[in-house]
Amino acid sequence: MSDELLNLRKNIDRLDEEILVRLAERARNAQRVGEIKQGNVYRPEREAQVLRRLGAANPGPLPDLAVQRIFREIMSACLALERPLRVAYLGPAGTFSESASRKHFGSAPNFVPTSTIDEVFRAVEAGNVDYGVVPVENSTEGVVGGTLDLLLENPLQICGEVKLRIHQHLLSKAAGIGAAKRLYSHAQSLAQCHEWLNRNLPSLSRVPVASNAEAARLASEDAESCAIAGEAAAELYGLDVLAANIEDDPNNTTCFLVIAHHDADRSGQDKTSLVCSAPNRPGAMHALLEPLAKHGVSMSKLQSRPARGGLWEYVFYMDIEGHREDPEVAAALKELNERAGFVKVLGSYPVAVI
């Protein structure tokens, strides 16, 4: 081994020990914060601030995202010293919902898979878990109506968002693509890879199943079949990637929400989700939007859904920029309350950092 290589490795060993000592010191501080803090130990606004600050202060050569992922894990482990979290997600294990949960909370919590989105809400509401992660919108397939309906009916609040790039892979234990006779996947994933499949595997029979993870499990038990699923499912079921990133839209992204009994404090870069109704008369929609324009509040999303109970009655889901405690947002919400038939603030939370 050359002298230079030996010296570099010696340096790395010394630096690792320094990092370790500093990590222990950080963890002890977090433990003490946990003792002093009243109420919830998990503080999404503080975590977002830490990640943003370190991304901005990063001197390189590591990319910002790599630094933020490392600190995401550090905070996850520090928080677990204060109190281990329980997080429910739409299962089974290996789904994109699990990947989104881990992306947001790191790997320290106890993750609890559920069978339906409704069960995620019920687990949080009953206090069986601290937080829940539910899909709300996919860039190709649109909104998850069930999640929007549950947010309207339920007293729970949104305390965070997770944006996950969805990469779909063709997975199998078969020797090659030609050997496969059946393809399992969730209907949404089959739709997201429709063009690739028509081009590359037009005659392979496509079998929709309950989830991508279930598709991966079925493919792991039968070497004549393959599945479309993500990396987490491939790892969990020991499948080979026959073709990677086969989604038709390379920007395919799903947005998830983190639900809890509380929303988040101000982080400096926040959004607020709300749902409201407008009376069915001319100019009613304009009346809803006017307070936002008047107070300089930007709206990033507007989505209508049929109201339960009234034929051709609608409710409107909005995302606006800012925290409900920011003065201009508070003023706009107050006026909106006076004009709309009904307004429910679903929560203010930090804009996703990673």
Q: Which is nearer to ligand PRE, 38 or 203 (CB)?
A: 38
Q: Taking CB under 6 A as the rule, does residue 78 contact ligand PRE?
A: yes
Smallest distance, ligand PRE to C-beta of residue 161, A: 16
Q: Which is nearer to ligand PRE, 21 or 241 (CB)?
A: 21
Exposed / middle / buried, residue 1 (Cβ in 10 Å: 0-12, 13-18, 19+): exposed
Please confirm, yes or no, whether 253 is among the known catalytic residues.
Answer: no
Task: At 301, list the tokens.
Answer: 């999303």
Please confirm, yes or no, whether 95 is among the known catalytic residues.
Answer: no
Q: Taking CB under 6 A as the rule, does residue 46 contact ligand PRE?
A: yes
The single residue among 48, 79, 289, 329 that binds ligand PRE, judged by CB under 6 A, is 79
Smallest distance, ligand PRE to C-beta of residue 58, A: 17
Q: Taking CB under 6 A as the rule, does residue 34 contact ligand PRE?
A: yes
Catalytic residue among 256, 272, 316, 342: 256
Task: At 274, list the tokens.
Answer: 């709300």
| CA gap 260, 109 in Å, rounded | 15
Smallest distance, ligand PRE to C-beta of residue 88, A: 18
Smallest distance, ligand PRE to C-beta of residue 52, A: 13
Residues 6+ apart with CB under 8 A from 235: 94
Q: Which is nearer to ligand PRE, 45 or 137 (CB)?
A: 45
Residue nearest to ligand PRE (CB): 78
Catalytic residue among 254, 272, 316, 342: 254
Number of residues that bind ligand PRE (CB under 6 A): 14
The single residue among 33, 93, 191, 243 that binds ligand PRE, judged by CB under 6 A, is 33
Are the beta carbons of 246 and 141 closer than 8 angstroms? Answer: no
Smallest distance, ligand PRE to C-beta of residue 75, A: 4
Exposed / middle / buried, residue 269 (Cβ in 10 Å: 0-12, 13-18, 19+): middle
Smallest distance, ligand PRE to C-beta of residue 22, A: 13
**92 prior amide bond cis, ω within 30:** yes
Q: Which is nearer to ligand PRE, 78 or 242 (CB)?
A: 78
Smallest distance, ligand PRE to C-beta of residue 130, A: 11
Are the beta carbons of 302 and 318 closer than 8 angstroms? Answer: yes
The single residue among 64, 73, 82, 240 that binds ligand PRE, judged by CB under 6 A, is 82
Q: Which is nearer to ligand PRE, 110 or 205 (CB)?
A: 110
| CA gap 227, 217 in Å, rounded | 9
| CA gap 137, 144 in Å, rounded | 6
The single residue among 42, 105, 121, 316 that binds ligand PRE, judged by CB under 6 A, is 42
Q: Taking CB under 6 A as the rule, does residue 75 contact ligand PRE?
A: yes
The single residue among 14, 37, 181, 334 that binds ligand PRE, judged by CB under 6 A, is 37
Q: In what order do the strands lie in the sheet with 240-243?
A: 205-209, 182-186, 225-229, 169-172, 240-243
With contacts defined by CB under 6 A, name the span among 38-46, 275-283, 320-328, 341-349 that binds ligand PRE.
38-46
With contacts defined by CB under 6 A, name the span among 33-41, 115-123, 170-178, 236-244 that binds ligand PRE.
33-41
With contacts defined by CB under 6 A, name the span among 77-85, 199-207, 248-256, 297-305 that binds ligand PRE.
77-85
- Residues involved in catalysis: 254, 256
Interacting residues with ligand PRE (CB under 6 A): 30, 33-34, 37, 41-43, 46-47, 50, 75, 78-79, 82
